[in-house]
Amino acid sequence: MKGYGYFGMMFFCLSVFMGSTGAQLQMGFYSSSCPNAERIGCDASVLLNTTSSSNQTEKLAAPNLTLRGFDFIEKVKSLLEAACPAVVSCADIVALVARDAVVATVIKD
């Protein structure tokens, strides 16, 4: 009987936690804090540049050496940072770029 109480408590805690993790990027999310964010335009750790020989980033890791498009994402990131300093996250920049790339490549009848 004691085991069932523990299981019930764990189930309750997990269901509360799982219910609160449904965040997603939505159209117009930055409409008040950075109105032009979607018009201007990171697992973001791969976007970080190395600052010294002792501070190597994921960008230079062997599995990531074949990644392309850093220059485009850096351009979007710099435009957004100029328009809205410290507002739009790197992860959201990657999501916006991915969304726009998919929309641009869809063939419409």
58 is in an annotated binding site: yes
- CA-angle at 99, arms to 95 and 104, nearest 5°: 150
Cα 72 to Cα 16, 30, 84: the distances in Å are 40, 21, 18
Query: Which DSSP state fits 52?
Result: B
43 is in an annotated binding site: yes
Residue pair 59/47 in contact (Cβ under 8 Å)? The answer is yes
Question: Which parts are annotated binding residues?
Answer: 41, 43, 45, 58
Question: Which parts are annotated binding residues for Ca(2+)?
Answer: 41, 43, 45, 58
